[in-house]
Amino acid sequence: MMLTRVSTAALFAALALPAHAQMALPTDVEQSCIVDGVDFDAWFKSGSPSTDGVVTAADSVGFPTDNTACDFYKWGAQMFLWLSSPDADGLVLDSPALFNVLPAISGKRILQENDTGADLQFALRSEKVDDIGEVGQAGGGGALMSQAGALVYYGVHVNENYGYFLTGQKDEKLTQTKFPNTASDMTDLENYLNTAFPSTTLVAPETLAMEFKTSWVDASTVPDATQFVTISAQVPTYNANPDNTVWTKSSVETIELALVGMHIVGTVKNHPEFVWSTFEHILNAPDADYYYTNILGDPALQAYDSTGLFLFMETGGAATGNVECMAEIKTGAIKANTVDGVKLACEGGIVASNTYRKYPWGSLQNNQSAAVLSNNTDLLSINAFIRSQLSNGDVRANYLQTGGIWTSPPTETAEAPIPDTDAFTASDLRGSLFAFNATMETYQQGSSCFSCHNQAESDPNSFQPFKLSHIYSQIVPLTAK
C-alpha cells in the first residue's frame, strides 16, 4: 500500500481508546511528515505490518546527510517501534541488544546483561538530591504519582554499542573523544571487540551509540493494561507514616509495570551530540493550547482539553498544575514538600499532582511562528501516519512521539556541533526547542535537553562527568572475556 494524500481524519479514525481521555489530536493536520506504506512495510522484519510485529532498528550509520526534520522524527519512530518489539520472552528493550544500567551504589553503576534471566531493576531516582539526577525527575529530587496513587519508576538502559565502546574507551583501547557517529567509528569498535570480546557479535551495530530512559507505573493501576507496553521489573516499596508526609523505603518487589514514557537518545551519522526523541502514552496528560497547520495551509488552534480520565491529570483539571508535591530525600525516603517550610505544597501531603504539557510538542504554547507551526505539524503528521498503519490491536499505536531535538547540520569540514556551556547559541538547535517528557521533566518543562546535556568549550572530551551523557562517568567497564 502507499499513503500519500489521504484524509488526516481517516488516519486518526478508530485510534481513540473508548471511555478514556486522551491527548486532543486535531484531524485536519497538513501531511507535512509522511511515512508511506512502502517505507513503513520495510521497517518490519517480515516485510509488512502485523499486530505487535518485529520492527528492525533504524539505520543510524546510514542516516541521510541531506536531511529534514522529518528524517529525525522517522528515526525516532522506528527506534521506538524496534525497542517495543517482541524478542524471545520479552521485548527488545530487555533483550541482549541492550544493557540495563543498574541504580548507582556509592557512585558506581553496573551494566546488567539482559540474557541472565534476572529481573530489571528500576528506581524512583538514585542520585542524592544535591547531585545531577539522571534517574527520576529531572533536577531536584522530585517524585511523580499518578491519579490512581501509583508512583512512577524509572529505568536507564544503553545499547550494546554504548556499553562496549565505554569499556574500550575507559580501558584506553579506544582513543575517540566523542561517541561513535560514523561507520569508521563502528569499524574501530568491532576491531576492539575482536580482541577484547572475541565471542561477541553486536546485535545492532547500525544503531551507533544509544541510551534510553523509561518511565513506568504499576500496571494494575492503569485503566486497561492491555493498552500499554508492559514489563516485569523489581521496584522499591514504601511504608507511609500516619499523616502521609513521609514514606520510608521498606523492601523491593517484582511487579508488572506499564510503560508511560520513553526518551530515546542516540548518535546518527555526523551527529555526535545525540539526537533526542521522546514518547508518551496517549492517556498521560493533556496539552496546553497549541497551533498547527491544517490541510488548507492555515494556522489552526487546538485548545486545552482535560475532559475524561487521564493518568496524571484529574478530570476537568485546569492548565495550572505541575506542582511538585513530594521529593526523595538523602535517606531514600519520600517526603512531602512544603512551601517556605510553613505549609504543605499539596493538600494531603504525599499525593498525586495535576500534570499537563505546558510546551506541547516541545514548542511554545499559543505561538504561531513558522518554526513552531512546522514542528508541531510535523509531529502530528508523522504520529498520524505511524498509528494509522499499525495493525489493529498493536499496543504501540497508543504511544505518541511528543518531541525531538538535535543540532544544526554538519558542514564539509565539521560534524554537527555538540552544545557547550560557553559559546553555544539557540540558533544551533533544531526540532522541539523545549523538548521534554511529562513523566520525566514534569517540573522542569521549558528547558532544552541540551541545557543539561552538553560539554565545556574548553574541554571537547565528550566523556566528562555529568556532561553530555550523565551516566557515562559512573558506569563500571565490562570485564573483557
pLDDT in tens, 51-63: 999 999 999 999 9
Of 445 and 189, more confident = 189
Per mean pLDDT, which range of 18-22, 137-141, 417-421 is the poorest?
18-22
pLDDT tens sequence across 181-205: 999 999 999 999 999 999 999 999 9
In angstroms, rounded to a whole number, what is the distance separating the alpha carbons of residues 119 and 310?
29
**For residue 425, is pLDDT > 80?**
no
What is the spatial distance between Cα 275 and Cα 328, in angstroms, rounded to a whole number? 30
pTM over 0.85, yes/no = yes
With 80 as the cut, is the pLDDT of residue 140 above it?
no
The confidence band for 131, taking pLDDT boundaries of 50, 70 and 90, is very low
Q: If we measure between CA atoms, which residue out of 214, 227, 220 comes closest to residue 21?
A: 227
6 band by pLDDT with thresholds 50, 70 and 90:
very low
pLDDT at residue number 128: 33
**Residue 216 CA to its chain's centroid (Å):** 12
The pLDDT score that the predictor gives to residue 102 is: 87
Rounded to whole angstroms, how far apart are CA atoms 138 and 16?
A: 30
List alpha helices for 351-446, DSSP H. 370-389
Q: What is the pLDDT of residue 344?
A: 96
Among the residue ranges 150-154, 232-236, 296-300, 423-427, the one predicted with the least confidence is: 423-427
Residue 91, CB half-sphere, CA atoms under 13 Å: how many? Answer: 22
Distance CA 74, CA 63 (A): 11
Chain segment 326-341, per-residue pLDDT in tens: 998 888 899 999 998 8
Q: What is the DSSP string of 92-132?
A: GGGSTTEEEEPPPBTTBB-EEETTS-PPEE-BS--S-TTS-
pLDDT attached to residue 172 = 95
Beta bridge partners of 249: 238
pLDDT tens profile 208-244: 999 999 999 999 999 999 999 999 999 999 999 999 9
Three-class SS state of 314: coil
